A and B are shown apart, each in its own frame.
Chain A
Amino acid sequence: MLEAERISGGYGGGDVLHGVSIRVGNGEAVALLGPNGAGKSTLMAALTATLPRRSGVLRLAGHDVSAAPSHALVASGLALVPEGRQIFAPFSVRDNLRLGAMALAGRSSLAERFEHVYALFPRLAQRADQRAGAMSGGEQQMLAIGRALMSRPTILLLDEPFLGLAPKIIDEILTALALLRRDGLTLLLVEQKLPIALSATTRAYVMLKGEIVLEAGCEALARRSDIHDLYFSLAAQPAQK
């Protein structure tokens, strides 16, 4: 579905990503784990062509899209729920969702998309006319996910969507993600907490200092004692060499 090969790049000066390769199969749900500053969000920017500088190969559904601009990637079925939600706060919930469908062709499918998102997150339907910035953090996150779904993606990237949310809201969103998976949506979830990643995905990459240092099935990862120790030991390894 999505293949990234030897992706390097950054914001200006030095590289943040150093030859990162990941692949996400059709219908798969994959986690990207790593501590603060590892470069997870930078990789999301690279995958969506919003990083200022990038090299490497990007393939989407078998097609080489290394040179495609962001809006073309969205049109070909790749959507990102960015870190920090990045909703358009002054706009209504409905306008935010409508903007998510900018790359969608056809009026009839627009109505179908609204229905789909409102069915997944009924709170958004209740708040359709409200100013998006006036909603609670959990509702804003639902809006950010709903907005990304408006473009009818085949693969959805989520960058730490659970950060700072109450456990009840986290469960609600996890349920929604499970429903989406059941309908065949491919997921790549950036997360710092292993338990959450385990409940939503089946395979995981661990990223440290701009490199993938580990790839494992989530069950195997779960058997390892503590993810924070794992980060720590992995981070220490290159120094020992």
Chain B
Amino acid sequence: MILDKYPAVLQAVPGGKILLTTTDDFINLGRKYSIWPLTFGLACCAIEMMAAYASRFDFDRLGVIPRPSPRQADLMIIAGTFVKKMAAPVREIYHQMPEPRFVIAMGSCANCGGPFHDAYSVVKGVDKVIPVDVYIPGCPPRPEALIYGVMELQKKIMRMKLAKGGGATLQAEKGSRDPAGGA
């Protein structure tokens, strides 16, 4: 079954029951299906994030299981309006997460300030503070959109290379909108 799905990833040794693959692909495959996000909601979008974990949308199907501690999390979903007072804590939480760590900016607010783009207290996009891997537009994005965002992240994870240090966010401190740092 895996063979049908990942012909490029795995090759069966002819006649045998052994699968050969590269270390990269093997590790990435494991990573891809065990993305554990931090339970971390900021505003309205967090309610849609909760809906994505709940009965109808059932995020568990993708191996996405919320963790309450940043030490156990791989993914931080910034769901909501990102204001200046919150910037320092978010940066701290981001650095508490173990590498490789990923960030999804969910909703217009996290992308660019959204309906509060001209407010004095709102940061215009979370990528001003921490690097972002996937942006999801919408106000709020539907749970389906969040699931699609995670699937995009999975694709990105499959392109990760150990030799390059392993992290998708190794564009690191540059910020993902930096053309030279984009993955």
Q: Do A and B bind each other?
A: no
